[in-house]
Structure 1
Amino acid sequence: MTTLLIAEHDNRTLSGETAKALTAAKALGAKVHVLVAGEGASAVASQAAGLDGVAKVLLADGAALAHHLAEPLAALIAELAKSYDAVVGPATASIKNALPRAAALLDVMQVSDVSAVIAPDTFERPIYAGSAVERVRSSDKIKVLTVRTSAFVAAGEAGSPAPIEQVAAAADPAVSRFVSDEVSHSERPDLTGAKIVVSGGRALGSKERFDEVMLPLADKLGAAVGASRAAVDAGYAPNDWQVGQTGKVVAPDLYVACGISGAIQHLAGMKDSKVIVAINKDGDAPILAVADYALVGDVFTLVPELTGKL
């Protein structure tokens, strides 16, 4: 059995999510080939080749793949997948955009957000915002999986790099085109890969108070900043800071939730964190039920005091 793992990258750097998805791919009991699709992405291919458990790296280089548009990437995956038993990718925005299209082209089902590999044809995935776990057995000849990377540890480095093979890009369906992108830049760690995350909720009251209370704490801890959906919807924080079922799923070593009540969709995005600290004035807030440590009180008093003592 051989698995094709789709690499997540920005044409320069391999995402840490790929190494976590590699652990899931290896659990299928198969040889793993990694597909690096992009433009000028040879450095990414070299990084992928250095991961433990990679048998071969396939490098597809072309202008149509430069911006990871879903249609040309899906066409390439579908063409290559016919030689594999499974296609796996981390559940990131770009891969969740492309893999369902590839599955449709292959006329197979996709198993999304896999959190455990039980057997080569049997997987577990969270449902109902993480309040239940579903076990799925697929009878498709080619398994197509997206992986919830917070459930897997990252693969380490190999003793020697795997070979890199050039493959041709598939014909571009030309049904979409890249116009522009707007990327936020920050000196803080990336939210999905950070070891420490501090998140604020609607209780912070305004963007100004959110920044005043949360950002100094994040800077003291060297943490990424997250937010609840309510805080994002209220305009306190940008969309890419949202943690939860409809945002980003995180599992840092330390998660600090400030003024977040703990709606089920938020818990689905952070409950796998190693240590959870909740700061909330409501002693009956749902988030306290999953917290390892709780501070009951006013966030506008407790968070600045905590920041000052760090």
Structure 2
Amino acid sequence: MSQQTKTIRWGIIGLGKIANKFAQDILTIDNCQLYAVASRSQEKANEFAKTYNAEKAYNSYEDLAKDPNIDAVYIATPHALHKENAILCLKNKKAVLCEKPFAMDKNEVEEMITVAKENKVLLMEALWTYFLPHYKFALQHLEDKTFGNITKLEADFGFKPTVDMNSRVFKKSLGGGSLLDIGIYPIFAALSTLGQPNTLETNATFFENGVDSSCTITFDYNNSIKAHLKSTLLEKTPTEAIFYCENGIVKINSRFQEPSTVSLIPNEGKEEHFDFGYTTNGYNFETIHFNQLLRDGKTESDVMSFQFSKTLITMLDTVRQKIGLHYE
């Protein structure tokens, strides 16, 4: 078997909702196997392994990290555990694809990157949107200036979960609240198209326990270009990314961060609608990219680079500082 067709054997740490979707999509990828899973609960690990045909089910993250048969580990634990879990795997020479946000703050992200470099192991933040065909299509039209330069961006993400202060989404110690969980996507939309802003303004509302319930952010760029960004756990919002350009609009329809459709709306002429015929949850696209990096012996993604991840977490840190949000 050549290196280019080598089967990449995956492990998953943290077996929640996203891990299930990731596991479903692994089953659709050639030369890719879900080999092992780990939960703090042996029963949960056994059940997950049985559902997705994994060979090993561990009740210890350490045991999974030390398994010599694993090439790569997907980390899907709560935000606050990302750094610790990633470093455990990296020190055991396992390539790591870590769910977004990469970690709780820039210091943690830099520590993870340092350990990856010391161990010469691949590490990437799993910001899946960057790899989705509809998002790449929209990016291409913006880069090609199909409708000229971007003049304004509006991007939002809002839903209204059942309020349960013991849930990961609301728990301060786990990095709960709207910003890290969903606010990261509108911020990503701005950074991936307009880059870093000159200045930013932000306002937030909070739940009684101190986590943010909503966050409105304005990125200011040169030439009076603005990105209006919003995240909220108080209401369901359109969850669209709308790029206003000089001669038309590139609109990523609801829910822009996951498999979706794109509308190209010229100021003059006929609107076009593009459907990408998704048949998976969408996690396969980042995984295929990651597998190829691993086969090529790369230790950093050229798409979701360390610098991009550092810029993204720096923006999140800046917003948190401005709204006075501190995690336990």
TM-score (norm 1): 0.36
- The structure whose residues are more often helix, as a share, is 2
TM-score (norm 2): 0.34
Choose between structure 1 and 2 for higher RCO, CA contacts under 8 A separated by at least 6 residues. 2
